[in-house]
Amino acid sequence: MKKTILLPFFLVLMIATAAQQQILKVNADGKGGYSSIQAAIDAIPAGNQTPVTIHVSPGVYKERVVLPEGKDHVTIEGENAATTLITFNNHTGTVLPGGDTINTWTSATFFIYASDFTANNVSFENNAGMTAGQAVAVFANGDRLMFNNCRFLGFQDVLFCSGINSRQYYRNCYIEGSTDFIFGASTVVFDHCQIHSKKNSHVTAASTPQDKPYGFVFLDCRLTADTGITKVSLGRPWRPYSAVAYLRCEIGAHIVPEGWNNWKNQENEKTARYAEYRNTGPGAALNQRVSWVRQLTEKEAAGYTALNILGSWIKNGSVKK
């Protein structure tokens, strides 16, 4: 009798769970689902509040993708970042068929305006090339954005953390570029990521608003570079109150001893909020850093956790020292 009663109960539970989430499938050859990621996103209703997972099969997806505001709670799920690539080649100066000209804000391969977005095991690329100028791979504007085991590939201005009130979390990601390849106004934590420089230039160009206590925070990351790259700064201020901190990072020899750059404006030295804490490696030259960077105390550094910086939506966000 108990089994007879319990069986309908579990069937109802399974149906209710399925109704609470939607799974869409994308395959480059169109078999068994959508043939493009944008087509899957277009199938999500405006104002969506139901979790949607888009499973992306291995392949190269050459497309410009826009996740609009209001299509929240979407997860892009790949099988492996090495085999799942979303790529396009727009860049600043490109003239579109209608006559409009692409700029930095409109050059991205993948635009995220929605909130509560997650990407797992996917590569995002802008393959416009080294000489193309600003060519964004991901334009991240929504709030509560999370990237796990993802790759961000390109040259200048690769990852645009744009939204002033946007909070973003990158875990175990690989981010490469040439000039200012991580930039913008958002509050962002990079946790155990590899940051790879492909040119003698600058890693970050933060434009943190004055009222935001944190900008870009790198926790336990590795900073590497192509062979022959020897003159890279940790960052320069795109706006006066630029905030960037590196804690417990392994810094390669490609980072210049002075560490930071004032973007040819000494006034920026009075307002930029740059900090370091217990970094290691040949590029962690504490005694040669510019005078206007702060070395955090142990007490100050204790506050630099993903949970504290980004809020309670990050689960298990605190990184051990």
Distance CA 211, CA 298 (A): 24
Cβ-Cβ contacts under 8 Å for 84 (sequence gap 6 or more): 56, 57, 58, 59, 61, 78, 121, 122, 123
**Dihedrals φ, ψ of 200, to 5°?**
-70, 100
**Residue 213, CB-side half-sphere exposure with 13 Å CA sphere:** 6
List, as own/partner pairs, every contact residues 303-312 make where C-beta atoms lie below 8 angstroms and the sequence separation is at least 24, other chains included: 304/214, 304/217, 304/219, 304/245, 304/247, 304/277, 305/219, 306/169, 306/189, 306/191, 306/219, 309/187, 309/189, 309/214, 309/217, 310/167, 310/168, 310/169, 310/187, 310/189, 311/167
For 193, the enclosing helix (H) or strand (E) is none
* Type of residue found at 257: P
Whether 27 and 60 have beta carbons less than 8 Å apart is answered as: no
Catalytic-role residue among 157, 180, 211, 220:
180
To the query of whether residue 191 is one of the catalytic residues in this protein, the response is no
Q: Catalytic positions, please?
A: 180
